[in-house]
Amino acid sequence: MKVAAIQMVSTPDVHENMATAKRLLQAAAQQGAQLLLLPEYWPLMGMNETDKLAIAEQPGHGQLQSFLSDMAQTLGVTIIGGSIPLISDVEGKVLNTTLVYQADGKTSGRYDKMHLFGFRKGDESYEESRTISAGDQVVVVETAAGRVGLAICYDLRFPELFRAMGQCNLIVVPSAFTYTTGEAHWEILLRARAIENHCYILASAQGGKHVNGRRTWGHSMLIDPWGKVIDEVAEGEGVVCGDIDLQFIENVRTSLPALQHRKLTSSLG
């Protein structure tokens, strides 16, 4: 099964971003991809961190969710919708949510980002918890590619989340890594998660200089269970594409059965 990750450089204009996402999703489908992944914050990289509150939607309603549903139906593919803001129970905060849409346009999974990014270095500072409420559920969905685990960006630094997903064929990581942290850690962490979980990792990123002055690292990529980067887009808009080889997953798990050798499981405390 062929999968694709979309890389964007999103702006403060929602409609502009929707048009870009549509064009890139169409391009990915034309390459034969059947599962398409958008990046984190694809609908909006606002001028202020509170801008996302104005476009937050109720689950099941809104232009962003309709767009994702319509694109899945029109292209006849599974779309994992990066992240969009959904209304939370906390005033002044949203949920940073990944929604999965099957080819019939219906949702088959929802994941609310659990780990909220915080970073300070010199003049660079981020604190997602000021405007985002954290989720608390590990989510895996069934697709034509088998079990797919859902994670978002900063989740990548918490290997216990990936372990909690159980055995997956693919784990997706829509992201908006900063240039600073991405340059240092992005590929290392992605390849580690693929190797230690014996699965493919598909990571879609924001990648470039944004209107709001922020610079994101990009380097969207597909990585196989042996840790090899199959395809990558460094910076700017683009599409990463490649095949999920179920036999290769089985070969890796058979030849190096590390998951069966684990000792420090949750049952041992």
pLDDT, residue 266, reads 56
Tell me what the mean pLDDT of segment 20-40 comes to. Answer: 98
List the catalytic residues.
40, 113, 153
Tell me what the mean pLDDT of segment 174-185 comes to. Answer: 96
Q: 186-242: per-residue pLDDT in tens?
A: 999 999 999 999 999 999 999 999 999 999 999 999 999 999 999 999 999 999 999
Tell me what the mean pLDDT of segment 121-147 comes to. Answer: 90
Q: 82-118: per-residue pLDDT in tens?
A: 999 999 999 999 999 999 999 999 999 999 999 998 8
pLDDT, residue 269, reads 40
d(CA 159, CA 176): 19
178 pLDDT band, cuts 50/70/90, is very high
Q: Where do the structural domains in the chain lie, given as residue ranges?
A: 2-261
- Give percent above pLDDT 90 in the chain: 92
Do 186 and 177 meet the contact criterion of CB atoms below 8 Å apart?
yes
Predicted confidence (pLDDT) at residue 265 exceeds the cutoff of 70: no
64 pLDDT band, cuts 50/70/90, is very high
**The domain defined by 2-261 carries CATH number 3.60.110.10:** yes
